[in-house]
Structure 1
Amino acid sequence: MHWFRHLVFAAVYIALALVVALTLPLSVTGMDGHTALLFGLAILTFGGLLHEFWSRQDERNRLEGRIWEIEAGLEEMRLQLDAQRGHSGAMPADPSEVAAVLSEARVLERLADRLPTHVARSAPAVVGGADAGPLFAPRPLTAQPVPTDTGAILDHVREALRTDQVDIFLQPVVSLPQRKHRYYELFSRIRAGLDADGKPRYLLPEQYLGVAADAGLIATIDNLLLFRCIQLLRETEKRHQNVGFFCNISAATLNDAAFMREFVTYMGQNPNLATKLVFELSQDDLMQGGLFATSFLDGLRRLGFHFSMDQVYRLDLDWNELARHEIRFVKLDAARLLDPDGRFADPRAVRELRQQLDRNNIDLIVEKVETEAQLLELLDLYIDFGQGYLFGEPRLARKQAGS
């Protein structure tokens, strides 16, 4: 009956306009008929405009209600479909989907064999919850004083792996100059107890990486990071989110034949995930001992994986060779490109490097960008991507409710 309300409203302001036009000359001394008519027309015009605004608002409310009904219907259909799948054993009917699920189970089982039971069963970090929230929780990564004794640090690392005290942090990688989030880099951080305020303390990478490497725990930490990365990839795929991830990995993990065999098989059945994951290795790891020749790296390249080289300290490289091995990203510190006064240390050399990378379809990521002044200088070189506290600090990846 919304039309009846509009009819009543129109009748009210039309009647008011007529009353003013007819009675104003009789009730106001000196008021002629033409002036009273103008007042009546003004009231009629104002009422018509107000009626138009109300009509549009009413139509908008009705459309929003209809959209809500459609969304509720879709949600009900989804729940019914989930229930039907549950009655049928929750196994997809498509044979290719069955193979993908079984392959995922095997690779996660392989990861679980390398990790404590509690870690393998923990709820995955997710990209937005049911409320389509942000990719990360609000808590930033803050460094707290931790023990510096090697034995104490090793104890913290082992305890963190055993009791699932390894947190995953995400930092955005943005396209320039738009500053749009295109990727997220994953970092694993080892908890080292709580501070006086009840906040987690974290071991810094430079504190625990060497100790973990000497104890043979680097591959385990890498596998945990990759385990969480797979979960993030699955979540972004479900939500149709176009975002990629940089996952740091060591040569030790790539040389873990049993794990990499299962991982390559799994990704072969999920090529859409492979295009969203960029393996990041240090320059030393990539350049040592013919790592490019490993069969698993070749297998990952054939599946569409790309690679990123960080911790770069030498620029006299064969960029053609790197491009042939699918090195598609190179990371350089902003401090390496800028001198303390904010000027390019060698603008010509940097521009030549940029041209070489362009010729080989390699994108340059400048990391540790901290200030707007740095960014303005860097933009003169047409940098592809930026990373650093200026664009977003590492933040704890969100976890599903109940994790």
Structure 2
Amino acid sequence: MKLSFGPDELAFRDEVRAFLGEKLSPEMSRATHLTTSVFSEPEIGRVWNRILNDKGWSAPAWPSAFGGTGWSLVQRWIFATELARAGAPSLSPMGLKMAGPVIMKFGSPEQKSYYLPRILAGDDYWCQGYSEPGSGSDLASLATRAVRDGDHYVVNGTKIWTTHAHHANMMFALVRTGGEDTPKHKGISFLLVDMKTPGITIRPIRTIGGDHEVNQVFFDDVRVPVSQRVGEEGEGWTIAKYLLEFERGGSITSGDLRSTFEWLQRLAQETPGGEGSVLDDPDLALAFSTVEIDIDALEMTELRVMSSLQTGQNPGAVSSLMKLRWSEIEQALTRLGVRVLGPDALAWETTRPLYAEGADPVLDDLARPVTAKYLNTRAFTIFGGASEIQREIISRELIG
């Protein structure tokens, strides 16, 4: 899809490209290509976060009053697209795109002045304490409880599928503070938890793709200051819904999808299929064309949503549509990768992360991430709200 830019926008694009040419090392780009999980390991992502922060570019979507760029919709779109094109690391969204917007809207002045600069700089690394065993899609049924004891809450329970909890020093968590007779949606509060607090135990979960990305976190009499509560007690469900709209629809994903598409095209062109490339197979060529059209359609939806964000609105129910389509397209792309490789997709790379030194690769760098990405993206239609839940939200709020 071709978009027309004016002279100022073209100058901005050239500035971004020059910055990336100077600051984005080949090692970072290679690590990004070989990252098979949702976002980069902290050893790569935090370094890139600090490089962006030094330039004042770590939070394009934040208001300038809080340290954001103040960029227009078009500038943000150009920036995200150029990052994807160059192969820049994918930053953890937990701080910049989730905790940050929540603290801006619901946090106290003290929370804003302390946490927002640390999120911008990457000094705090965040994880999300939402899902629990038995409380994923029905998040309001969560059982982790926080009991008030003077100036602290005493937290007991467990969270699961907690991405990068083993790296994080901070968690934002939903906990139950209401009594037995309190309606489940009204008895939830939102806490900021220091992961070094005594009583927190992290148990790793190895994904089907071979990565240690997610964890189960246990809370045993963990004392969290009441000052670390965001908003009022019992307001957690309102805050959670606001945050989930940003998680599902506050990002520009079409650039990354297009970058993945172009990588798979290169892979297909270099993979023999009879006398030519595998793209000579009409069924596979049709599958590539279908995915490309889907990416174009999602791109236009993102631009519509970002236009709403720029006028101060939150994404709303359309964020569910974007999350649904993004996850489905990601899965379609990785299925294409497996089809392109054919029997070579059965090769298994044991090293994690794939870019680690001393690895003995089975395939070359172009093909190495395919199988692990395929396996890991099976979870994309589950995390952040399962596809069934997204369709229910879309049908209820957009169709009626």
- The TM-score normalised by the length of structure 1 is 0.22
- The TM-score normalised by the length of structure 2 is 0.22
